Amino acid sequence: MRILVMSDIHANYTALEAVLKAAGDVDETWCLGDLVGYGPDPNAVVEEVREIKNLTCLMGNHDVGVIGRMSLETFNGDAKRSLQYHEKVLSASNIEFIKSLPSKTKVRGDATMAHGSPRDPLWEYILNAMTASLNFSHFDTPWCFVGHSHIQCLFTQHPETERVAVEQTVPDVTIALQPKLIINPGSVGQPRDRDPRAAYAIYDTEARTWTPKRVMYNIAEVQERIRAAGLPEKHAARIAEGW
């Protein structure tokens, strides 16, 4: 099967549209969470995701915050302001959809999915080899797909030494999957690896390959909507630079 794997859309509908168009026909779509937060389009994003066929979608930490299962005081000031706005504008049906999403890990075939990490699915960031090494024992599948950090990257555990290597993946360079790996497709709506293009990946279950992808979208248009909604200027500025 050809599977679109994406994460951290963060209410950026224009970026989501670009990813879905660029990915083309897929057999399934796996979303690793954070439909909302930061961006100007929470309803449009949730409604688009709800319409995706053969969807598996997790709940992210911003999703948990917007449905009231976590205090917004947990988030930094700018993130809190965006979530307060999203609380006000999200429709009842979209809130119910978010509430229906699983907040724990999910296993599909050879892959474990988590928003943050397999040992702390909502909050832990896997940003370095040390944190990754603490997580390999928390999943039994050959590989684990995570989001949350907004960085396209790959963590490999050597089968004999158990040493962990980290590398930033390269768009359009296909990776042959071998146990044991933790892989991040990057962020659709707010990349933080200095590449402002929307990030995603294609996972081929038969070929056992992972191909990271990037696609450009109309960033200026999204910035205008962020400012029009009165959301923090930081969230408009950063999407243009990928930080």
Percentage of the chain modeled with pLDDT above 90: 97
CA dist., res. 167 & res. 32, Å (int): 20
Is the per-residue pLDDT at 159 higher than 90? no
* Residues in contact with 111: Cβ distance below 8 Å, sequence separation at least 6, in sequence order: 141, 142, 143, 144, 145, 203
- Total domains, the chain: 1
Higher pLDDT, 13 or 70: 13
Judge whether 173 and 215 are in contact, CB under 8 Å.
Answer: no
pTM, 2 dp: 0.97
- Evaluate if residue 70 carries a pLDDT over 90: no
Strands 143-146 and 111-114: parallel
Q: What pLDDT, on the 0 to 100 scale, is given for residue 170?
A: 97
Q: How many CB atoms lie within 10 A of CB 182?
A: 26
Could you tell me the CATH number of the domain that includes residue 180? 3.60.21.10
Q: What is the pLDDT of residues 182-227, one digit of tens each?
A: 999 999 999 999 999 999 999 999 999 999 999 999 999 999 999 9
Domain hosting residue 71, numbered range: 2-241
* Beta strand ranges found along 36-142 (DSSP E): 55-57, 106-108, 111-114
